[in-house]
Amino acid sequence: MYLCYVDESGTPDIPGNTSHFVLAGISTPVWHWKNCDQEIRAIKARYDLQGSEIHTAWILRWYLEQDKVANFDSLDHLQRRYEVGRIRNAELLRLQGAGSQKQAQYRQKKKNYRKTDAYIHLSHKERKAFISELAQCVSNWGFARLFAECIDKVHFDPARVARTVDEQAFEQVVSRFEQYLRFTSADGSTRNYGLLIHDKNETVARRHTQ
């Protein structure tokens, strides 16, 4: 049995707010899964990120609030969280109850803060180091395979292919994963099976399952 975890980057809508849509899957044999999970957990623990999801784009952003904290690098994680949280709460209170323009800013700030809350105790340098460690860890998994499809939405014609951007990408990733399973079963001694694990997006996952 091979597990293939699938996740996306960009939006499938045309035009949407991204020029490209990328769908990628990483496959590992089920008997390696526990060791993979332990390696990732160990790295997360070193950065005090136990139980937190890894969202690279949000992790690598520059958090302006950290620049406003005096001697941020010298503080411990608990103090950093308190100081950054205090500044963010003050900013949200400032934007509440204002005009429509500030209300839009309030909603965007609230979203940004929610998405980055798990990482505010780490400096930008530490967050970059965290992502580098994860990448180095995964690069050492010689048993893993990556499958991906990148679609330039400017040149995508949904009428011509009779499917949406995300459906087209999903079909391509699945077909490559399936070819890999067939290739690794070519000697006839075993029959490999695959399990697709979709990132938590109920609407998209349901459509892809169908």
User: Do β-strands 194-198 and 2-9 pair in parallel, antiparallel, or remain unpaired?
Assistant: parallel
Distance CA 177, CA 146 (A): 9
Assign residue 86 a region: left if phi > 0, alpha if psi is -120 to 50, beta otherwise? alpha
pTM reported for the whole predicted model: 0.84
All structural domains of the chain with their residue ranges: 63-122
Position 154 scores a pLDDT of 84
Distance CA 82, CA 181 (A): 49
> Which region among 46-50, 68-72, 161-165 has the lowest average model confidence (pLDDT)?
161-165
**CA 141 distance to own-chain centroid:** 19
Distance CA 147, CA 135 (A): 16
Position 100 scores a pLDDT of 62
Position 193 scores a pLDDT of 92
Q: What average pLDDT does range 71-80 have in this prediction? A: 97
pLDDT at 191 over 90: no
Distance CA 24, CA 90 (A): 39
pLDDT at 99 over 70: no
Give 77-93 pLDDT, tens digit per residue.
Answer: 999 999 999 999 999 99
Give 117-151 pLDDT, tens digit per residue.
Answer: 999 999 999 999 999 999 999 999 999 999 999 98
Q: Which residue has the higher pLDDT, 13 or 130?
A: 130
Distance CA 205, CA 210 (A): 9
